[in-house]
């Protein structure tokens, strides 16, 4: 919710504070509510309710799409960011982070101070938190979600703290919850009061993550529940520190690229995105990014790509630290040239793509992408060559011109009304006389995509007297009820 | 020796070295060639260049500047397969002719390309004799054929090894419809070439031919028409 509010504030005016806002995700029977703001919560809207129901009750409800994938990514990054407090952190479900702060709390002045620090730091990022600290992971998960915020419990007080929590805190399936509720076991305390043997016998055949007894044991610390933290992302970085500030980065670059490539080669990786950063003496920093079409760890190639980017970089009064970082990497195994000494042609083209893209920009260098359409200008789209592969062209059933004017240019035409070929036409202030023609080829508008009222096109291949062959179309037919007289356009030229 | 005889000797020497047979620009040769369209918005030059590109699976680098895009339109991909060209085209669309020349040089250094085609409209100052000389030398050292389509340019200086001026001719007869245009015909004027006599030919293109060598035919005697007709036996049946 808070992430949505921050993003929305950058793009448009957010709704006022007293408007109930909900985020919706797709449910089985239409959208359901995923998250809401404080106003909506105060009115009693529940997570998981259907949006249409909530809208019927509160017509002023403001509904937005939830971005679950974005939330997930943010949480992954937050889990890594949280390693500022302790080395073992892992994402917990869709909305939590578990940290193992064993032996780390004293660095922040005790457990309470650590939790306060966490709350402050998350608040600085615009996020509210519910924190709890407990001797076991399961207990902390339950307390953070179901207890009043800011709970710290130790081994003695833990059972007292867990007792009043509902059994839903154990993260059981819906069936199991219903069963326990029917049995009258509504709180954790009620569950622990039942003799273990009875619970064991009742839930013997269940899998570990659905068995209430196992989950309870994990929460109370009776069963082991270790934290499996993902490793830190490795940073591929080479840096040069200079004894004196300098203005020109070029002499330092070969050593930087060499060092980075040695690192990459050791891990059999290649760089797809490089960033060169200079740290100036006045505290500022400037950076330049270079994208490559295929993974590379060739220092000479990196230098050529960077060379075109250095002109615009402003060194100020000089800089004394220079880093080259591979921000995106891909596996790249060792590659051998052919035995006859020739190189792989595909790799040459990829290197050429890198150089062109580094200088001209990714949108300028394109492959053709093909669309299923009859309208000539829609058949061929262009995709950046750095990110896509070339696709084979479709086989056209009708002859098409070699060159296409984009957009088509209007011509004044003398023709036999209503559907005759163009006998004479004037284009770019030159008059042409038709010698031979072929057509018409009728292309109807695509009603599923075009605006209503779009007119059909009749294409003619017209050869004029000096031999040039044009592709001319008449837009509309006289009396088709979609505008006045038909208009003629010149769209292309044949070989 | 008298000066006169010396002069005659030079003439005879150069005359002997000149090749006088029909050129075959589509049969390779990694050199820089110019193609000059004779009329505005004439696809004859484009068609001729496409017909001359080598038959290869490697991509062709096709570079256009903004003016040629506006004046002559874009190359239309869906037509190429029907025209008999099946390779991939890597397009580069830049705004200034200077970038076209730079990209052509980069492309000429890349052995993974089958050819490099640049299009420049008008005769901008950057497209000087020196610039074309650079390209010509680059093409000869790397082995990638280079084509430069110079529309709106009536023969400014160029170091290209072959310079062609192309113009559309009335097309061949259509087998099914006497009213309709048929196979494309162009007038190909080789007005400057190194080590070869210049000349004018009528070029006929047949994209469906089996062998690459048969696709583009250069027939002597432009504007004659009679010679061209001899190669199309079907024309007598459907003609007039």
- Please, what are the domains in chain A? 2-66 (3.40.1170.60), 71-220 (no CATH), 236-357 (3.30.1490.100), 403-494 (no CATH)
Q: Give the single-character DSSP code of B19.
A: B
| Selected residue of A403, A405, A470 to mutate for chain B interface (largest B Cβ count, 10 A) | A403
DSSP A127-186: -----EE-SSHHHHHHHHHHSPSSEE--TTTHHHHHTTSBGGGG---HHHHHHHHHTT--
Rg (CA), chain B: 19
pLDDT at B11: 45
Residues in chain B closer than 8 A to A405 (CB atoms): 73
Can you read off the two tokens belonging to residue A57? Answer: 């009750």
Q: Is A433 on the interface with B (CB under 8 A)?
A: no
Report domain extents, chain B: 29-238
d(C-alpha B167, C-alpha A495), whole Å? 10
Across chain B, mean pLDDT equals 81
Buried b (16+ CB within 10 A) or exposed e, B173-191: bbeeeeebbbbbbbbbbbe
B113 has pLDDT over 80:
yes
- pLDDT mean by block of 10 residues, chain A; 495 residues: 64 70 81 81 81 84 80 83 83 81 82 86 82 82 77 77 80 82 83 82 78 81 79 83 87 90 88 88 87 83 84 83 87 71 73 87 91 90 88 86 92 90 92 92 89 90 92 91 90 92
* Dihedrals phi, psi of A276, to nearest 5 degrees: -105, 125
Question: How many beta-carbon contacts under 8 Å exist across A and B?
Answer: 172
pLDDT at B240: 36
Asked if A469's CB is within 8 angstroms of B181's CB, the reply is: yes
Cis peptide before A418 (omega within 30 of 0): yes
Class of domain B29-238: alpha beta
Q: Detail the DSSP E strand segments found in chain B.
A: 32-37, 60-64, 74-75, 89-93, 115-121, 146-151, 162-169, 185-193, 199-205, 216-220
β-pair partners for A35: A23
- Here the contacts of A124-128 (C-beta below 8 Å, separation 24 or greater) are A126/A2, A126/A3, A126/A5, A126/A6, A127/A2, A127/A3, A128/A2
Residues A162, A145: contact at Cβ < 8 Å?
no
Asked if A349's CB is within 8 angstroms of B110's CB, the reply is: yes
Residues in chain A closer than 8 A to B73 (CB atoms): 403-406, 492-493
pLDDT at B93: 94
Asked if B81's CB is within 8 angstroms of A352's CB, the reply is: no
Q: Which of A262-276, A308-322, B32-46, B104-118 has the lowest mean pLDDT?
A: A308-322
- Min Cα–Cα distance to chain B from A396, Å: 7
d(C-alpha A92, C-alpha A97), whole Å? 5
Crossing angle, helix B97-108 and helix B129-142, to 10 degrees? 20
**Which residue matches tokens 């057509």?**
A439
Listed residue (A456, A485, A457) closest to A471, CA to CA: A457
Of the candidates A355, A401, A466, the beta carbon closest to that of B106 is on A355
ipTM over 0.85: no
B228 has pLDDT over 50:
no
Question: The pTM is what?
Answer: 0.64
| Selected residue of B78, B171, B206 to mutate for chain A interface (largest A Cβ count, 10 A) | B78
Residues B98-106, mean pLDDT to the nearest whole number: 93
Listed residue (B52, B35, B32) closest to B43, CA to CA: B35
Q: Is A401 on the interface with B (CB under 8 A)?
A: yes
Q: Is A91 on the interface with B (CB under 8 A)?
A: no
Asked if B50's CB is within 8 angstroms of A495's CB, the reply is: yes
**For A372, nearest residue in chain B (alpha carbons):** B78
Residues A153, A139: contact at Cβ < 8 Å?
yes
d(C-alpha B179, C-alpha B173), whole Å? 9
């Amino acid at each position: 919710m808070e992430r949505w509010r921050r993003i929305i504030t950058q793009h448009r005016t957010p709704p006022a504070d007293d408007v109930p806002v909900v985020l919706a995700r797709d449910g089985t029977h239409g959208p359901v509510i995923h998250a809401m703001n404080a106003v909506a919560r105060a009115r009693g809207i529940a997570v998981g309710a259907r949006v249409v129901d909530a809208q019927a009750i509160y017509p002023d409800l403001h509904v937005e799409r939830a971005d679950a994938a974005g939330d997930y990514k943010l949480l992954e990054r937050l889990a890594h960011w949280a390693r500022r407090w302790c080395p073992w952190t892992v994402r917990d479900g869709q909305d939590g982070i578990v940290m193992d702060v064993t032996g780390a709390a004293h660095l922040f002045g005790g457990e309470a101070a650590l939790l306060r620090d966490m709350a402050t730091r998350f608040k600085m990022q615009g996020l509210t938190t519910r924190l709890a600290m407990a001797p076991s992971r399961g207990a902390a998960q339950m307390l953070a979600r179901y207890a009043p915020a800011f709970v710290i419990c130790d081994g003695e007080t833990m059972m007292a703290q867990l007792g009043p929590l509902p059994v839903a805190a154990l993260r059981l399936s819906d069936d199991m919850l219903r069963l326990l509720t029917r049995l009258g076991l509504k709180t954790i305390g009620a569950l622990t009061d039942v003799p273990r043997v009875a619970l064991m016998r009742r839930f013997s055949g269940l899998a570990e993550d659905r068995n209430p007894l196992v989950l309870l044991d994990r929460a109370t610390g009776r069963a082991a529940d270790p934290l499996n933290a993902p490793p830190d992302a490795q940073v591929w970085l080479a840096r040069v520190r200079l004894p004196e500030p300098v203005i020109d980065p070029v002499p330092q670059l070969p050593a930087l690229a060499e060092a980075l490539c040695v690192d990459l080669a050791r891990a059999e990786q290649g760089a797809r995105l490089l960033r060169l950063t200079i740290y100036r003496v006045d505290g500022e920093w400037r950076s330049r990014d270079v994208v490559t079409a295929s993974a590379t760890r060739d220092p000479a190639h990196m230098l050529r790509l960077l060379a075109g980017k250095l002109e615009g970089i402003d060194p100020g009064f000089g800089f004394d630290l220079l880093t080259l970082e591979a921000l995106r990497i891909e596996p790249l195994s060792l590659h051998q040239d052919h035995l006859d000494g020739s190189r792989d042609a595909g790799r040459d083209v990829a290197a050429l793509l890198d150089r062109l893209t580094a200088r001209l920009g990714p949108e300028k260098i394109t492959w053709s992408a093909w669309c299923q359409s009859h309208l000539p200008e829609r058949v061929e789209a262009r995709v950046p060559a750095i990110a896509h592969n070339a696709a084979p062209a479709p086989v056209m059933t009708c002859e098409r011109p070699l060159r296409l004017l984009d957009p088509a240019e209007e011509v004044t035409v003398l023709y036999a009304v209503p559907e005759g070929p163009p006998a004479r036409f004037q284009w770019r202030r030159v008059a042409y006389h038709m010698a031979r023609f072929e057509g018409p080829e009728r292309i109807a508008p695509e009603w599923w995509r075009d605006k209503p009222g779009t007119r059909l096109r009749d294409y003619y291949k017209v050869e004029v007297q000096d031999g040039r062959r044009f592709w001319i179309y008449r837009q509309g037919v006289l009396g088709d009820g979609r505008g006045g007289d038909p208009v003629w356009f010149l769209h292309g030229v044949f070989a | 020796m008298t000066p006169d005889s010396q002069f005659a000797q030079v003439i005879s020497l150069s005359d002997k070295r000149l090749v006088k047979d029909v050129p075959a620009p589509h049969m390779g040769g990694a050199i820089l060639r110019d193609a000059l369209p004779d009329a505005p918005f004439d696809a004859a030059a484009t068609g001729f260049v496409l017909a001359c590109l080598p038959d290869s699976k490697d991509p062709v680098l096709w570079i256009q500047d903004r003016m040629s895009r506006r004046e002559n339109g874009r190359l239309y991909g869906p037509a190429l397969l029907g025209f008999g060209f099946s390779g991939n085209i890597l397009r580069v669309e830049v705004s200034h002719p200077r970038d076209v020349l730079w990209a052509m040089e980069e492309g000429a250094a890349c052995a993974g390309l089958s050819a490099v085609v640049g299009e420049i409209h008008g005769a901008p100052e950057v497209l000087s004799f020196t610039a074309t000389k650079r390209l010509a030398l680059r093409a000869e050292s790397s082995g990638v054929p280079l084509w430069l389509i110079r529309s709106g340019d009536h023969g400014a200086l160029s170091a290209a090894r072959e310079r062609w001026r192309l113009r559309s001719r009335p097309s061949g007869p259509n087998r099914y419809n006497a009213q309709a245009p048929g196979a494309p015909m162009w007038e190909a004027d080789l007005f400057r070439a190194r080590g070869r006599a210049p000349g004018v030919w009528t070029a006929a293109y047949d994209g469906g031919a089996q062998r690459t060598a048969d696709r583009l035919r250069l027939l002597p005697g432009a504007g004659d028409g009679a010679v061209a007709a001899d190669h199309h036996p079907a024309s007598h049946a459907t003609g007039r």
